[in-house]
Amino acid sequence: MNEIQATLALLSAENLQKALEKLENTSIPVFGEMTPQQMLEHLCLSIDLSYTKPFTEGKEISEMQKQTRLMFLNTENPFPKNLKSPLYKEGMPALKYENLDSAKDAFLASVQNFHTHFVNNPTTIYYNMLFGKVSFEDLQIFHFKHILHHFSQFNLV
């Protein structure tokens, strides 16, 4: 199984649902400081923001984006543990969803919306604040690694 096939397998609704069944409010992270609901809301935000800005020709890709891409996308290495997201310089945001079950539903919807978007727009290139210019394949790799990282955080995979 290659990386894309592994990505699609993990990101299938059935596999995600199965993993989420193990997640409870009382689940303790193996590393990091997020609660189960914070983790899911963080993944929702990451997925939802990943395909909002189409890439425009002439847009500069910074050296930092090139380096970040090499560290996270162009390697088979997993994400390092206890990595701080640049989205949360001021700390974790307030919870958006009423409870963990609502966050689980929102997460599954985010993944489904991501897939539906790219079924309809398979060749669209996007601008990502971390990586610069990204394709659907790039985003699949990122989300696979990111979800795997956080699901490992709570022993879900």
**CA dist., res. 42 & res. 33, Å (int):** 12
- Report pLDDT digits (tens) over 71-81: 888 888 888 78
Region 91-119: mean pLDDT is: 94
Q: What is the pTM of this model?
A: 0.88
User: Per residue, what are the HEC states of 60-103?
Assistant: CCCHHHHHHHHHHCCCCCCCCCCCCCHHHCCCCCCCCCCCHHHH
Question: What are the φ and ψ backbone dihedral angles of 81, each rounded to 5 degrees?
Answer: -75, 150
Average pLDDT over residues 19-36: 95
pLDDT tier, 125 (very low <50, low <70, confident <90, very high otherwise):
very high
Own/partner contacts of 70-78, CB < 8 Å, gap of 24 or more, are 72/130, 72/131, 72/142, 72/145, 73/131, 73/138, 73/141, 73/142, 76/3, 78/145, 78/148, 78/149, 78/152
Query: Are 136 and 11 spatial neighbours (Cβ–Cβ below 8 Å)?
Result: no
Phi, psi of 54 (to 5 degrees): -60, 145
Asked whether residue 135 carries a pLDDT value surpassing 70, the answer given is: yes
Residue 20 has pLDDT above 80, yes or no: yes
Measured in Å, how far apart are the chain's first and last C-alpha atoms?
Answer: 17
Residues 6+ apart with CB under 8 A from 127: 53, 54, 55, 56, 59, 133, 134
